[in-house]
């Protein structure tokens, strides 16, 4: 059943209703009084996601792969490995793609989407009145868990890249640079589905997340937060601190579930695409694939 949550699809030049995995369950959890009790007592807890993760790692979970591909019409031609080779649903979930499946914009000053998903851009955080729903203000200090760092980026630019279970679940760097640090900020595991975000934007800074600092020679420090979510308690790294990465290189991947990558740039360092800004100013997310240009640097 399609959700009434819609995003802009540039390829189709239209608003598209989002197909939400486990929609009935999510609606019950976040809208029904009994569901809210379960959310508080069970769903947001790490043990619940760990339990579900083990189910998705079990050999019998492979029976879910073919129906999932069919229901969500995934393009198997992009898969590096054919579906029958996966030994669990989780292996399929964080699958790799063929090298040419996600071409990286090679324009020298281009900044690319770090992940597949639905993207919301905020050109100047200090001028952002609300996100996703009126009355919800963003708290950068709480998100970063570091007041001095938040003050440094309070006039910066941000892109929220929201991944759904149907998406490619590996995340990459939006520009070249060296990984300076990586910090775990512990928390709960609420869903980052739009139904949840419209009720409570604070899930971004209440959830478990990792903060990566990527140092770019021209832009300076670029922050990336990998936000965990219900059934996505695990973030797996394929890159190390101190490693130099090229634009579009992989950083890691999420285990089963929907999740989110938040990327923050220093003040006046980039200019987002005009179409992204126009849609985001109306609270509309835009679909984009990893490697596509989303902005240009000012340097």
Q: Angle at the Cα of 94 (from 208 to 210), degrees rounded to 5?
A: 20
Tokens of 180: 């300076």
Long-range contacts of 90-97 (CB under 8 A, 24+ apart): 90/53, 90/56, 90/57, 90/61, 90/255, 90/256, 92/62, 92/65, 92/68, 93/56, 93/165, 93/169, 93/255, 93/256, 94/169, 94/170, 94/236, 94/253, 94/254, 94/255, 95/168, 96/170, 97/168, 97/170
Tell how strand 177-185 and strand 244-245 pair up: antiparallel
Q: Are 141 and 150 in contact (CB under 8 A)?
A: yes
Q: Are 299 and 218 in contact (CB under 8 A)?
A: yes
Q: Which residues contact 8 (CB under 8 A, 6 or more apart)?
A: 14, 15, 16, 279, 284, 285, 286, 287
* Active site residue ranges: 116, 172, 259
Per DSSP, the three-state class of 61 is: helix
Q: How does 70-94 read in b/e, with b if 16+ C-beta sit within 10 Å?
A: eeeebeeeebeeeeeebebbbbbbb
Q: How far apart are CA 242 and CA 240, in angstroms?
A: 6
Q: How far apart are CA 65 and CA 67, in angstroms?
A: 6
């Amino acid at each position: 059943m399609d959700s009434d949550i819609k995003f802009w699809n540039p390829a189709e030049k239209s608003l598209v209703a989002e197909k939400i995995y486990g929609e009935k369950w999510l609606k019950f959890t976040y809208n029904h009084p009994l569901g809210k009790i379960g959310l508080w007592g069970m769903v947001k807890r790490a043990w619940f996601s760990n339990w579900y993760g083990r189910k998705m790692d079990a050999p019998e979970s492979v029976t879910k792969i073919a129906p999932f591909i069919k229901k969500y019409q995934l393009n198997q031609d992009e898969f590096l490995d054919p579906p029958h080779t996966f030994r669990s649903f989780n292996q399929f979930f964080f699958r790799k793609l063929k090298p040419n499946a996600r071409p990286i914009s090679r324009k020298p000053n281009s900044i690319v989407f770090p992940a597949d998903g639905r993207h919301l851009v905020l050109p100047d955080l200090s001028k952002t009145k609300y996100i996703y729903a009126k009355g919800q203000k963003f708290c950068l200090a709480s998100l970063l868990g570091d007041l001095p760092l938040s003050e440094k980026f309070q006039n910066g630019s941000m892109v929220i890249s929201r991944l759904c279970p149907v998406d490619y679940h590996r995340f990459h760097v939006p520009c070249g640079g060296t990984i300076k640090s990586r910090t775990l900020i512990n928390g709960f595991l609420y869903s980052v589905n739009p139904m949840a975000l419209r009720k409570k934007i604070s899930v971004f800074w209440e959830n478990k997340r990792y903060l990566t600092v990527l140092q770019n020679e021209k832009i300076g420090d670029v922050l990336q937060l990998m936000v965990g979510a219900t059934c996505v308690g695990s973030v797996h790294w394929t890159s190390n601190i101190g490693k130099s990465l090229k634009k579009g290189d992989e950083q890691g991947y999420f285990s089963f579930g929907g999740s989110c990558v938040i990327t923050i740039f220093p003040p006046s360092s980039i200019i987002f695409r005009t179409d992204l800004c126009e849609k985001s100013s109306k609270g509309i997310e835009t679909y984009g694939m990893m490697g596509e240009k989303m902005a240009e640097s000012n340097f």
